Structure 1
């Protein structure tokens, strides 16, 4: 039996209301998920502001892959100032000047690429800390978006000294070695607080690719790069580019 025009209209209105109700429920659920994710990220970053991260996803991946994970947490006061300066010189000379994401460095890298140069990374120490402490290696927009958000968050909640302290304790130096103390003990047989400028420059030189470049013994490229890092260390000290970490 065919529906009359009024009944067809009522049926269409009923379907429309059901669809609107469903979309409203989805929107509410999505909104609650965003609020929960925001609250969790703030709590997570807040905990790491005062407590050492018990481990990272990268460490877990190394362990599941069969590698022996060697990590030791130490306070920033127990890490050689030479290593702090060397890492700033090698990784992010504007660490004390930017707010986590260095747009000036990004613009410079893009300009160099447009002029025929190789597109280099412009990741800051803050971004690397966010990635190492909260995420995993590899690309993907999900990780990169989360990394950007956590970078902003830790720059808001943590002082620069804490960012450096966490970075130096979760960075990987190859062979499942995480943190400055484990790296110093494994590579030089001494504590991180006793590293000299030469040793610090060597460690900082391999950070971009710790599984590819070696400290013991350093190859020609690492030796050359460490010499460049030592020269930059002098500039960093001269211009006070490490003041937000070394002066307190």
Structure 2
């Protein structure tokens, strides 16, 4: 029950602001699942939620699909690289890196409003940026795909930040693109993990059901709900996760 509710919450947050993994990952670790199993099961279980979240933003993506397809290729390749890293690095190395990654994700969530304000000022000062972002954006999306394939927390925040600096699309359009790219990463990583990594399929099922509903809810309320309260809760959960992982 708790895992399913966490999936709903994570799916909603992923569609609205990203970082839903900061909800589900600590819950799974707190329930006794090993970090690697929690990560792989989480990636597969949250994938349906990212798909429904992307579908919910389909109207914002009208006319953008040729560009989104190019970005998706970069995410696809990056996700493969990230899963290779997760499966290649020793288990102890992953467990040592996870607190750092969660801490980084929490910091990104905290600074997101300031990044958004800086982006807005930059646009006003410099005019309309290049519409497609160029090779630099593709490279950054590829790097974020690697991170997302390795550990999904806050990849959405990262994507919105870099796209906001290099694209002139509205925030809602960027959020729609973010949902599509996150869906690509989660689907690629989830598919690879399903065949090559330790996975708890009961957890996957509960997360999949919850995140599917959450993705639909998040897309529906995304333009109306302020992310402030959600961000604060994510920070609290993320800090608790860092403390817990360090003490393990």
TM-score (norm 2): 0.29
> Which of the two has greater helix per residue?
2
> Structure with the greater relative contact order (CA < 8 A, sep ≥ 6): 1 or 2?
2
Larger radius of gyration: 1
TM-score normalised over the length of structure 1: 0.29
